[in-house]
Each structure stands twice: as structure tokens, then as C-alpha cells.
Structure 1
Amino acid sequence: MTTPTTVPYGTQVQEAAAYIQSKFGGYTPAIGLILGSGLGDLGDQIEDAVYLPYEEIPHFPRSTVEGHAGRFVIGKLEGKDVMIMQGRFHYYEGYEMRKVVLPVYVMAMLGIGTLVITNAGGGMNRAFKAGDLMLITDHLNMTGDNPLIGPNDPELGVRFPDMSSAYDPEYIELAKKLAGGVTGVDGEALVLQEGVYAGISGPTYETPAELKMLAYLGGDAVGMSTVPEVIVASHSKLRVLGITCITDMAIGDELEPLTHEQVVKVANLTKPKFIGLVRAFVREVQI
């Protein structure tokens, strides 16, 4: 549905949340998950699922990216009520930043306290390899924008939110503890890295010079999502676990041409380990 410019942002959040809540079917999700490119299959494993296409939700845009189903899935995972975004919105799709992050505010209003955010990204740390998973410990906002610019709605959060622990340290430690029990379909152990995610606007992949700059600034992986959502999660006082699937190596001196199809292909190969880690986290996290 299109959003009239006259509708206040806080009202958009409330109306979207009210519509979704009317479709819950008795669920009370406390855990939300945002699934990135090629990683949406976890949404198909939800028990007794309720499906809500984004285009049916008031004020929501549409997800236009290949590999993104474009819907909420609400139901049970590992015995807990969850709310999953199968696909997300991106700044590069032409949506203003506040539209990109609208679902995070909506999930917070619906009672989500824990948010698991995943993405596909390029590895800039030479110790990584394609197929690794990286726990995000911090980020660099290189998008050129911030979803909190503009008037602040105190119903949504404070004017100047703290970002010192945007990625929850306890959740990072829990994920590291659980990783040892996760293997792929071939029995290969999960390789779990840690690092800083550099968020850019896209939609172009980076030039060699840009990758050298981002690595010099401290980035370990680079991608086109997540940072705006985490900023809003902090604004909403949500606890966040961030996971990047390293789909390719983005080393400035060794850069090779890359396509979205290659990114999705590697993400698909990594899915069993990714799903195993997320399911273990949902099972063990205390909410």
C-alpha cells in the first residue's frame, strides 16, 4: 500500500502494527528475525505459520530484490513464538531511510525484544573465506544517511540513542558457544568469524579503492543493509544478534567481477550452517 505523506510516521507504525497483530492468531512473538539474500529458507521451517505479504500491510513498501520473498512469517521455531522477515527493504531500492526501517519499529511495537539480523556480505578480512559466517561486533555507517535524521518521536525512542553495545555482547558469546555444535550437510564444521560490518548504500558493488578505504577504517565485511535497521533497533532498545554470510572475498588488490547470482549461490550453499546456528540461538536464548 502507498503511504500518504500526511500520515505521521508514528501513526504509520501504529497502523501497521495493529494490522499485523490482528493476524497473529494467538501468537506473542518476542523474537524477530530479518533474513537476507539467499537466507530466507528458514522462514519456510516455521511451524503453524501465518504468512503476511508486505504489500497487504498498511504503509509497507514492496521488496524488489531477487532472493527476498517479501513477507512476514509468524509462528513457532524451536518451541518459541517468532516473527520473521523473509526479505527486507533497502535504501538503494529508492525508499527513504525511514521507510526502510519501518518494519523494525513495527516489530518493537508488537513486543519483540530480541532481533536477529542476517545479511550476505563481502569479506574484506584476509583471514575469511567465502562460506564463513561472521558475527557482527560493530559497524561502520557508510550509507551517507541515518534513519533518525528529522523530528524525533519520543514514543519510538530517545533523541540521542546510545550505540556502544548495538550488537549485544551476551548474544555474541552465546552464538560462539553454540557454533561448535553446528555442521553442514556434509558434516563440515561451521567456521564462525567475528568482525566489523561496513554498511554502504549500494546498489553498485565497491571499487578496489573503496574496499581498501573500508578495510583501512576497520571493516571486516561489507554489505548494503543492516546498519539502518540496527540503528533503529538501538533506538527501540532491542537486543541484537547480527550475522553476515560471507559470500565472496572483497579484497581491493584482488577484486574480481561479481554478480548478485553469485552472492545468492554461495548463500544457498551456506544455508544449512546458517539455519543450524540461528535455530540453536533461538532455542537457547533467554527472553
Structure 2
Amino acid sequence: MNSKEQISHDDYQKTADWLKSQTKHRPKVAIICGSGLGVLADTLKCQDSFAYSDIPGFPHSTVQGHAGRLVFGELKGKTCVCMQGRFHMYEGHSLCKTTFPVRVFKLLGVETLIVTNAAGSLADGLRPGDIMIIKDHVNFPGLVGMNPLFGPNDDKFGPRFPAMSGCYDKGLRSSAMEIGKQLGVSKLMQEGVYAMVGGPNFESIAEARLLHRLGVDAVGMSTAPEVLVAIHCGLRVFGLSLITNKVLKSYEDTDSVNHEGVLEVSRLRSQTVQQLVTELVSRMETNNNNAV
């Protein structure tokens, strides 16, 4: 993985221009679907879909549970684009490649980014099947210099030193909690702090204890870099974690976590996440004037 790899503004623009030439959709909302949650993209009306391998500049997704498609369409009257599967640092991608689609979305006219992920619970009050609305994150790779904004700043996208306080939009978080009440799933929902670790291994017990003491409620291997780039280029962000497993914090525990179990919980709760995100999108105020 080359942390010093640089992608020019022209590279992002070429991909955006190619997508504009292939679809008439001009999305205002982008949704990144985490492990096992890509079913949301299947509900879009008037779809245009593209395999990542066919899109100039896009990396390829290699993780089970990630379909590897970019899907454009209408969701509750809003023009959206969905990533069925994201890119991860542990796959060998540089962070600027991992976050490549976010800047392309900006150039397509996207205003709001929704990020979903599968995560392990560290908080005692979060159980598998619960939905955690992300109110903040700890970006552990970023704390040691592994940052998608590394290198010369592209002023066309945003400032050299973007502020990350309040990066998860408070209004959207409040709206999501209200929607949860109306859908009758509020008992499954709470706000919390997400931490990104590098992966691909699940956490050791000592690591889990450390994260818990630092105030982390759920942990995963994605999301923070995409959010960082989204905030840098002025997008509004909403994030949620589907809790798929309890992270072990005791040496007496004999259970273990695996990716197949993560996907199974995602499958069981995917409809609830789909309903929540769909209703949230339907309530969004967007400038849907088919920007070019």
C-alpha cells in the first residue's frame, strides 16, 4: 500500500465525466453500503448500474458481502447513487484510492453522504442486531499519519486543515432517531462513538479493553477515511453502524467472531436498516435541479 500515492483533480474529473456520460441521473445523495447491507441499492427505481471494474479510476472490491457495483437511481423521489461495497485499507488500497469515490460524488453534485457499516460492540448496552447512529469517531490510522488527505492539499476540494468536530450532522442524527420511533425500532437504536482500526484481523482482548476504556462504543475497519474526505469537500454526513457481534473483553470468554456471522446478522437486520435510510432520504431537503 502506497500511502504517498497522489490522485490529481483531473483524475477525479475524468471519472465523474465518464459517469455523467453513462447515466442521466444527477445524484444529490450518495450511500456507501457496508458488509451485507448492499440490498438497499436494489430498491432504487430507474436504475443504472456499473461494475467497479468498468469505471475508470475505480479500485476493485475483494471482500465477501460487497457486490462491487455503483448503482444510480431514484429513492423516494430523491436521486441517489449507492456503492454496493466499499474499499478498505486492509485490501491493499492506498487511502486516497479507498476514498476515491467520495470526491467523484462531490463532482457529480452530491450534497449528502450516508455511510453504513457492520461493527462490533464494545458498549455493554449494544447487542448484535442493534443500530448505532454514529455521533463521532476515533480514526486510529489517522492518528498515526495514515490519512487520505496526506500530501499536497487540493484547494479545489477543501482547506488544508479541515475541522472534524461535529462531522456527523446533528439534524440528520435527530431525524434518524425520530424515524426509529415511528418505525417501532427505537429500542434497537442509540447514538455512539465508532472507532476505525486497520484490520483485517478482529481485535485482541487487550485491544478491546483499551478501546472500551477510551470511550469507544463500536469498532470496525472502515468509514472514518470516507467521512474525513466528505467533510473536507463540504458534504453533509450521516453514519450508522449495524452491530453484528460483541467484541470479547474477557479472557474467560470462549466465543469467537467471524465474517460469516457478521454477514448473517447483516442479512437479518438489512430490511430495518433499509427502511431507516429510505425514510431518512425521503425527508432530506435537496436541491434536485439536475445539476450538470
TM-score of the aligned structures, taking structure 1 as reference length: 0.93
**Equivalent of 2:245 in 244, 248, 252:** 248
Name the amino acid aligned to 1:109: L
User: What residue number does 2:173 align with?
Assistant: 172
**Equivalent of 1:212 in 209, 212, 217:** 209
User: What residue number does 1:50 align with?
Assistant: 48
Cα offset, 1:181, TM superposition:
2.1
Cα-to-partner distance string for 1:67-104 (whole Å, 9 max, x where unaligned): 10111100101111101111000000000110000000
SS at match of 1:231: helix
Question: Conserved in 1, the CA contact under 8 Å of 2:34 and 2:86?
Answer: yes
Q: Supply the distance in 2 between the matched residues of 1:189 and 1:146 (Cα, whole angstroms).
A: 35
Cα-to-partner distance string for 1:19-77 (whole Å, 9 max, x where unaligned): 1111122x221011000000000111111100011111111110000010111100101
User: What residue number does 1:257 align with?
Assistant: 256
User: What residue number does 1:193 align with?
Assistant: 190
Name the amino acid aligned to 1:168: D
Are positions 1:77 and 2:75 aligned together?
yes
Q: Supply the distance in 1 between the matched residues of 2:220 and 2:6 (Cα, whole angstroms).
A: 31
Q: Over aligned residues, Cα RMSD in angstroms?
A: 1.6
Question: Conserved in 1, the CA contact under 8 Å of 2:7 and 2:96?
Answer: no
Cα-to-partner distance string for 1:210-241 (whole Å, 9 max, x where unaligned): 01111111110000000000000110111111
Q: Percent identity?
A: 41
Q: Supply the distance in 2 between the matched residues of 1:279 and 1:132 (Cα, whole angstroms).
A: 18
Q: Supply the distance in 2 between the matched residues of 1:207 and 1:255 (Cα, whole angstroms).
A: 13
Gaps of 5+ in 2: 287-292
User: What residue number does 1:127 align with?
Assistant: 125
User: What residue number does 2:36 align with?
Assistant: 38
Name the amino acid aligned to 2:157: L
TM-score of the aligned structures, taking structure 2 as reference length: 0.92
Match runs of 1:1-287 below 5 Å:
8-25=7-24, 27-143=25-141, 144=144, 145-183=146-184, 191-253=188-250, 254=253, 256-287=255-286
Q: Supply the distance in 2 between the matched residues of 1:180 and 1:189 (Cα, whole angstroms).
A: 5
Gaps of 5+ in 1: none
Cα offset, 1:156, TM superposition:
1.6
Name the amino acid aligned to 2:98: V
Q: Supply the distance in 2 between the matched residues of 1:79 and 1:8 (Cα, whole angstroms).
A: 34
Cα-to-partner distance string for 1:4-32 (whole Å, 9 max, x where unaligned): x998421211111111111122x221011
SS at match of 1:271: helix
Question: Conserved in 1, the CA contact under 8 Å of 2:6 and 2:96?
Answer: no
Q: Supply the distance in 1 between the matched residues of 2:226 and 2:211 (Cα, whole angstroms).
A: 20
